[in-house]
Amino acid sequence: MAKSDVTNYFRRSSVFWMSVVTVSMGFFTCTVYAPEVIPYDKLGPFGTFTKYLVDNHADILYKGWWAAFAIHVFEAVYSQKVCSDKGIHGLTARLLWFGQTFLFGFASLGILLKFDPKRPKHH
């Protein structure tokens, strides 16, 4: 792989994982900050369980949400160290890795961790 290819390397997460993380974190955010908008009765056993958690363990949900947020921040910051270690120095690529990893967590960081700039890429 040419040096400029490594410097600007970026690969988007799969639409599947971006969707899963978006829906999951969106739902989690609603359980913590807007539980009244969730149609519990339309979600079957999952809705019943979620309603139980909202009614009886809101404090744990709140702390869990902030823990998930902190993990995503840590992963995004860590992605910058991984970029440096792998020779990804292009500002745009680094910003894309940071943003994608903040939004989608390990669905993004996993791609970056698997990237091996020393291995030639075959098309």
Within this chain, do residues 66 and 44 fall inside the same structural domain, yes or no? no
The 10 Å CB-count burial string (b at 16+, else e) for 81-120 is: ebbeebbbebeebbebbbebbbbbbbbbbebbeebebeee
pLDDT of residue 95: 98
Expressed as residue numbers, the domain containing 44 is: 25-56
Within this chain, do residues 93 and 64 fall inside the same structural domain, yes or no? yes
- Cite the DSSP H helix spans in the chain: 3-7, 15-33, 44-56, 58-86, 91-104, 106-114
Within this chain, do residues 111 and 86 fall inside the same structural domain, yes or no? yes
12 part of a folded domain: no
The pLDDT tens digits along the chain (123 residues) read: 556 689 999 999 999 999 999 999 999 999 999 999 999 999 999 999 999 999 999 999 999 999 999 999 999 999 999 999 999 999 999 999 999 999 999 999 999 999 999 876 655
pLDDT of residue 2: 58
pLDDT of residue 122: 55
Within this chain, do residues 41 and 92 fall inside the same structural domain, yes or no? no
pLDDT of residue 36: 97
Within this chain, do residues 75 and 48 fall inside the same structural domain, yes or no? no
